[in-house]
Amino acid sequence: MEKNVLKEIIVEQQNGLARVNKTVPREVLPLVLTYVPISHAVIIAGIRRAGKSVLIQQIMPHIDGGYYYFNFEDERLVNFTVADFNSLYEVFVELYGPRKTFFFDEIQNVPGWERFVRRMQDSGHKFFITGSNATLLSRELGTKLTGRYVSVELYPFSFGEYLAFHDVAVAKGDVLKTPRRAMIKQLFNRFFTEGGMPEYVTSVTNEALSKVYESILYRDIITRYELKDERPMRELCLYLFSNIGALFSYSNLKNILGLGSVNTIKSYLRYLENSFLFFGIRCYQPSVKKQIVTPKKIFCIDNAMARVAGFSFSENKGHFLENIVFLELQRQGRDIFYYRTHTGAEVDFIIRRGERVEQALQVTWSLAGTSRDREVTAMVAALEELSLGQGLILTDNEDEEIIVGNKKIIVQPVFRWLLENGVRGGLK
């Protein structure tokens, strides 16, 4: 690739770094900063437009001795190959002199990039790398970089980050004070429908979110995996967006979409999970074999995206509340399952630590009416079967404690749970 083109792109991108709009310090930033002094490459992976580029800009002021920055999303780089990295490095040195740190954005667009990174690591260079595909977190990458990397997953705004975006600081105890609680709950109601995709939160226009979804669908899935017919993938996405929190099996999806092969469905779901668009969790079973054959439960990356791209948002408020809880558990890096009791009752989330079940969580819009007996009965049964003394039921806006025999059930609003037990580690 011609050096003058690379130079033009580098200068444009460097100038663009100075034109950053309002940013929210991401909750993973303190963790990432602990990786600055070590020699390992730092891999930041997450869905497109979740804020990975902004996160690395928040890292840059903490780098001594300067850095190089390059974003591989530029359309002029369509023919960039691993052989062009040497030219890129030479242009960097010509423009800015020798520096030890590289920031590479959306590097998955260049097959074989690991070879350049590994070689430069051997000569003492440091890398911060972002990408929109989960293969960046795979064991295969660990082999290619000989284990010399650490990984971070970035999700759309958490509720805490959403509040920070709206310049709302929340102190310990605020969720219990009537005026502050009402204001926080009002913002949570917006978060419930607006989700946390930074671009959408900024503009609050469906068109902005639709463009992000189309970009993910075409660039990260249809083009990347060379799908000749986009219809089945579109229909699969529509079905999953419209059934968040529901159970699915490969054979059932195959029949719904009229596809001839379960393997095709498995591949499509793997593509969607690699792009961070959807997540499937298994039923907790003592046998891994049983976990594999039992139907999975589907969740998505963002409530607003599901609302824009799917159907039945208003009719499934409980499932979308559940989706918010799932995403927070993902941010925390928990080992997540759902559970079925011996009588067939479902508990939404089981958290496992090692080989031990640590917590049982149920999510429901409200415990009013007939749902109370159903949800409490399911939770008590799960606590008995899993040898747990306490469970948690999360609702839209209820606070209480329920004692059944020797079992305690804490009932909390989701917004309170997010702020007191979220990835930030509790309120100040």
Same domain? 354 vs 262: yes
Three state DSSP letters for the chain: CCHHHHHHHHHHHHHHHCCCCCCCCCCCHHHHHCCCCCCCEEEEECCCCCCHHHHHHHHHHHCCCCCEEEECCCHHHCCCCHHHHHHHHHHHHHHHCCCCEEEEECHHHCCCHHHHHHHHHHCCCEEEEEECCHHHHCHHHHHHCCCCEEEEECCCCCHHHHHHHCCCCCCCCHHHCHHHHHHHHHHHHHHHHHCCCHHHHHHCCHHHHHHHHHHHHHHHHHCCCCCCCCHHHHHHHHHHHCCCCCEECHHHHHHHHCCCCHHHHHHHHHHHHHCCCEEEECECCCCHHHHHHCCEEEEECCHHHHHHHCCCCHHHHHHHHHHHHHHHHHHCCCEEEEEECCCCCEEEEEEEECCEEEEEEEECCCCCCCHHHHHHHHHHHHHHHCCCCEEEEEECCCCEEEEECCEEEEEEEHHHHHHHHCCCCCCC
1 residue type, one letter: M
Pairing of strands 390-395, 356-363: parallel
Asked if residue 46 is part of any domain, the answer here is yes
Q: What is the pLDDT of residues 89-119, one digit of tens each?
A: 999 999 999 999 999 999 888 989 999 999 9
Residues of the chain falling short of pLDDT 70: 18-22, 139-140, 312-314, 422-428
Same domain? 319 vs 367: yes
Q: What is the pLDDT of residues 314-346, one digit of tens each?
A: 678 999 999 999 999 999 999 999 999 999 999
Same domain? 127 vs 244: no
Give the model's pLDDT for residue 427.
47
Give the model's pLDDT for residue 426.
42
Same domain? 264 vs 324: yes
Give the residue from 109, 138, 154 where a domain finishes: 154
Asked if residue 243 is part of any domain, the answer here is yes
Tokens of 53: 């580029």
Asked if residue 28 is part of any domain, the answer here is yes
Same domain? 145 vs 206: no
Q: Which domain, by its residues, includes 128?
A: 3-154
Give the model's pLDDT for residue 20.
60
Same domain? 170 vs 85: no
Asked if residue 428 is part of any domain, the answer here is no
Give the residue from 133, 154, 175 where a domain finishes: 154
Asked if residue 13 is part of any domain, the answer here is yes
Q: What is the pLDDT of residues 62-93, one digit of tens each?
A: 999 999 999 999 999 999 999 999 999 999 99
Give the residue from 109, 134, 154 where a domain finishes: 154
Give the model's pLDDT for residue 39.
93
> Domains in the chain: how many in total?
2
Same domain? 62 vs 77: yes
Same domain? 320 vs 292: yes
Same domain? 331 vs 408: yes
CATH number at residue 61: 3.40.50.300
**Beta carbons within 8 Å of 36's beta carbon, 6+ residues apart:** 59, 62, 63, 126
Nearest-angstrom CA–CA distance, 215 and 31? 29
Give the model's pLDDT for residue 21.
58
Asked if residue 427 is part of any domain, the answer here is no
What is this structure's pTM?
0.93
Asked if residue 26 is part of any domain, the answer here is yes
8 A C-beta contact, residue 68 and residue 102: yes
Asked if residue 262 is part of any domain, the answer here is yes
Same domain? 146 vs 175: no
Same domain? 147 vs 288: no
Same domain? 85 vs 182: no
